[in-house]
Structure 1
Amino acid sequence: MEIIRLNATDHIDMDEIRENATAIGFFDGLHRGHLNVIKTMIKIAEEKQLKKAVMTFDPHPSVVLNPKHQRTTYLTPLEVKLEMLEEMGVDYVFVVNFSSKLAKLEPDEFVRNYIISMNVRELISGFDYTYGKKGQGNTTTLNKYSEFNMTTVGKYALTDEKISTTNIQHKLARGDLEQANIELGRIYTIRGVVVQGEKRGRTIGFPTANIEASYKYFLPKNGVYSVTLEVHSTGGVHKGVGNIGVKPTFHDDIVKPIIEVHLFDFNESIYGENVTIYFYHYLRPEVKYEGIGPLVEQMEIDREQAKKLLEDID
């Protein structure tokens, strides 16, 4: 897969890029709705013998357009999104830098500089895609160009509510993890590195691996989860209980949430290992306990509940 990074001042030699079908959108999460757009692109590309391409943007447009509500964390950070697209068999990914200059482009300028110049012959987007200055361009205006064919993919919904990145984030933020996973079409994951922690867990019978996220992930609600942890170097997958939070029983001054995982029947040292956490079930919110005794009692309950919930997970 070839990754082509573009900014508002780039000049691209069209001869270097073969004719392609391109799915366009931000695609954070690569959820079921996004996959519907990308699968449509793949089908068209194969039927018309075109290269398969995806055009995405970095950073999120809100960083430029809506500074009061910027999105700087992601369900699928760019590096993860690129890996997932490669696994889908995409040939080109056009990563467009979303800058102030890009935001000021008139719709026609955007189309000519970023669609036609990319040798796009088939363009595929979701029904609500907009582009150009103040979002003046839309799927209707894209249909007016003779240089490429436009295909609009309708709303993808499991209920009356469409599947969207924003809705999935809202579900993760309120602890509705299982529904978020359904809408994603997979288990929500966070990649990271095992780092040194306070090592308090081992003194109370619950040793934990502290995970520092490798990218700017959107973190689910603070609380306790049933999880599995994949250790990349071995490929081993281990079941456990995960916690996202600020350890209120021990601290009053931690602001940034910490990710910890207690693994069942596991006593190896994995400091420095690259890992992926898979979040299966939200068990309960984070609570401040009056002492270690009540905390340990609750952690025993959490462990048994997580073991039961993960029984059928390979």
Structure 2
Amino acid sequence: METVKLNEKTICSGQSMRRPSAVALGFFDGVHIGHQKILQTAKQIAEKQGLAFAVMTFDPHPSKVVKPDRAIEQFITPLHEKLAIFSRCGVDVVYVVDFTQAFAVLSPREFIQNYVCGVGCKHVVAGFDFAYGFRGQGTMDTIVAHGDGVFDATKVEKIDCQGEKIGSTAIRQRLENGKVEEIPSFLGKAFEVKAFVDRSVSSRETVYVSVEKDYKLPKPGVYQIKVEQQALRIEGICEWQGEDFNGERRLDVYLKEPMSSVLEGDINIQWVRKRQDQKFGKLRAM
């Protein structure tokens, strides 16, 4: 999969690639069930029409520019993880648009002409609530007109879970409330984060892992988890107390199997459910 960064300079200088493609548009935080429908639709159209399968996303989150006092800076899936998911979905090229102040004030037509048409798009796929251009004035009902008919468009309708819209906001709310057991209904799988094991500070009973700041973590507490490392799959429990004074994000993890089975390095943590335990000292009562 190819990753191409787009900004005012690359667009104006013609450095962006014009590759006939079906383009899935969106921020895609979480790549949840609704996002997956968008990606599947774009892939099917690309295969049917002999086009490249492309994604156009944005970095940083638009709120950092248009609502800096309420900026979203922690994610269900940070950019590097989204790119890995896109690759597994069979995406040919990902366009990462640099969301700057100059980009935020582009008119809807300027965005479509310079960026979407600029990469050779022949078919756009996005969710029913996708908005673009200055103050989100462009919608899926105007997107074909702003492209002067150069491409077709498919609007993916809302997907609900028990009457609630499946979206990144719903997943974030569940993380904030510690209701991780409800997330698979929205995400299509358990909420998970990439973490790093530091064996130098781990004990015989506990593995200490650090999580990068880009991930949005659940409400502090004690959680049932599953840990994956290479071919290793272990159930366990972790305590998450929140960031320390240095801004470090460390989890204390107690696993069912010997600590020696976990190597120093990257692991994947799946959050299963929040426990009633209030202190890590109770964790052995599994």
Is the TM value for this pair above 0.5? yes
Which amino acid counterpart does residue 174 of structure 2 have in structure 1? K
The separation in 2 between residues aligned to 1:14 and 1:140, in whole angstroms, is: 29
Q: Which structure 2 residues correspond to residues 196-275 of structure 1 after superposition, within 5 A?
A: 202=204, 207-214=205-212, 216-232=214-230, 235-246=231-242, 257-268=249-260, 270=262, 272-275=264-267
Residue 50 to residue 238, structure 1, CA distance change in 2 (3 Å): same
How much does 1:118 deviate?
0.6
Where does residue 6 of structure 1 map in the other structure?
6
1:224–1:244 contact (8 Å) kept in structure 2: yes
- Tell me: CA distance 1:3–1:116, structure 2 relative to 1, closer, same or farther (3 Å): same
Instruction: Check whether the contact 1:124–1:153 (CA below 8 A) recurs between aligned residues.
Output: yes
Alpha-carbon distance between aligned partners in 2 of 1:187 and 1:67, rounded to the nearest angstrom: 30
Distance 1:96 1:82 in 2: 13
Provide the rounded CA distance (Å) in 1 between the counterparts of 2:169 and 2:129: 14
Residue 81 of structure 1: aligned partner: 82
Residue range with higher mean Cα deviation, 169-178 or 117-126: 169-178
Partner of 1:290: none
Separation in 2 of the partners of 1:166 and 1:279? 18
1:212 positional shift? 1.2
Q: Cα gap change, 1:138/1:158 in structure 2, threshold over 3 Å: closer, same or farther?
A: same
Is the Cα–Cα contact under 8 Å of residues 125 and 151 in structure 1 kept in the other structure? yes
Q: CA RMSD in A?
A: 2.2
CA gap of 1:286–1:112, structure 2 versus 1, over 3 A, is farther
Q: Does the CA-based 8 Å contact 1:197-1:210 persist in structure 2? A: no
Structure 1 stretches of 4+ with a deviation exceeding 3 A read 12-17, 196-199, 253-257, 269-272
For residue 272 of structure 1, report the CA deviation from its aligned partner. Answer: 3.2
Contact residue 14 and residue 117 of structure 1 kept, 8 A: no
Distance in structure 1 (CA, Å) of the matches to 2:247 and 2:18: 47
Residue matched to 1:300: 284
User: How many residue pairs get matched?
Assistant: 283
- Asked if the contact 1:222–1:285 (Cα under 8 Å) also holds between the matched residues in 2, the reply is no
> Structure 1 residues 266, 26: closer, same or farther in 2, change over 3 A?
same
Please report how far the alpha carbon of residue 214 of structure 1 lies from its aligned counterpart in structure 2 after TM superposition: 3.9
Closer/same/farther in 2, CA of residues 258 and 286 from structure 1, 3 Å limit? farther
Identity among equivalent positions (%) equals 32
* 1:153 corresponds to 2:156: yes
Q: TM-score, normalised by structure 2?
A: 0.92
Question: Aligned in 2, Cα 1:221/1:197: closer, same or farther, shift over 3 Å?
Answer: farther
Over residues 177-232 of structure 1, what are the superposed CA-to-partner deviations in whole Å (9 max), with x where a residue is unaligned? 11112210011111121125765x64xxxx21111124510001111111111123
* Whole-angstrom CA distance in 2 between matches of 1:136 and 1:16: 26
Equivalent position amino acid for 1:242 in 2? C
- In structure 1, stretches of 5+ residues that fail to align are 288-294, 305-314
Match of residue 43 from structure 1: 44
- Distance in 1, matches of 2:197 and 2:242, equals 17
Cα offsets for 1:220-252 (capped at 9, x unmatched) = 1111111111123xx2111111121159xxx9x
Q: Does structure 1 retain, via aligned residues, the 8 Å contact 2:213–2:249?
A: no
In 1, the alpha carbon distance for the partners of 2:182 and 2:283 equals: 25
SS where residue 175 of structure 1 aligns?
A: coil
Instruction: Quote how far apart the aligned CAs of 1:300 are.
Output: 2.7
Whichever of the two has the greater Rg, that structure is 1
Deviation at 1:158, TM superposition (A): 1.6
Q: Is the 8 A contact 1:77 1:215 kept in 2?
A: no
* Separation in structure 1 between the aligned mates of residue 173 and residue 105 of structure 2, nearest angstrom: 30
CA distance in 2, matches of 1:62, 1:221: 22
Partner residue in 1 for 2:28? 27
Deviations 1:37-69 (A, max 9, x none): 111111111111111001000010000011121
Cα shift readout 1:73-97 (whole Å, capped 9, x = no counterpart): 0111110100110011010100001
TM-score, normalised to structure 1's length?
0.84
Alpha-carbon contact 1:226-1:281 (below 8 Å) kept: yes
1:13, distance to aligned residue in structure 2 (A): 4.2
Alignment partner of 1:93 is 2:98: no
| Deviation digits for residues 119-150 of structure 1 (CA, Å, limit 9, x no counterpart) | 00000110011111111111111031310001
**Paired residue type of 1:262:** Y
